[in-house]
Amino acid sequence: MSGDAILAILDAAAGEFGLPSNVVVAVAKVESGLNSYAIRFEPQYRWLVDARDLRPLSTPGASPPQSFPSLRGCSGLTEWAAQKTSWGLMQVMGAVARERGFQGVFLSELCVPAVGAHYGCKHLRHLHARFFDRHGWAGVLAAYNAGSPTADAGRAYARKVQERMQ
């Protein structure tokens, strides 16, 4: 897919969620370099979701539980690993996509540019509603990366994104 097509998809997703296109494109540039096939397994990620009813789960430890909840056609082990993986253009965590309503059997669908952009923007919009008034874009972007608007790692990430905004 051409760079122009990727930018058009990101622009459309930004518009769908009322987000500035330059913010969305900058996030995608920092997260994946605009590579829709980018993935990253994050074994320490622990905020997982029941794929069937989208409830948060508590699953401590580095190993999957005996019967991790998954959708029909996907093993529990695959679902567990996929939720601990960031996917696609905006590097959406699988668990975050589930939390935001993704019901596809396989989280690898987040590598489809329009799907990944949709769920990345949906999550960014959620964080904007939650943190923008108090923390501005820097806090929203920090939360996108590190889960908190005040996390040091998230602040460094926010600076990278803001440098790439046009």
> How confident is the prediction for the chain on average, in pLDDT?
94
pLDDT score at 119: 98
Are the C-beta atoms of residues 46 and 60 closer than 8 Å to each other? yes
DSSP-assigned letter for residue 61: S
pLDDT score at 64: 75
Q: What is the mean pLDDT of residues 44-52?
A: 91
- Written as six digits, the tokens of 92 are 């959406």
Distance CA 95, CA 129 (A): 20
Helix residue ranges, H only, the chain: 3-16, 21-32, 76-83, 94-99, 113-146, 152-164
34 has a pLDDT exceeding 70: yes
Look at the alpha carbons of 166, 39, 122, 148 in this order and tell me if their dihedral is positive or negative.
negative
**pLDDT band, very low/low/confident/very high, at 52 (cuts 50, 70, 90):** very high
**pLDDT band, very low/low/confident/very high, at 61 (cuts 50, 70, 90):** low
Residue with more model confidence, 57 or 88: 88
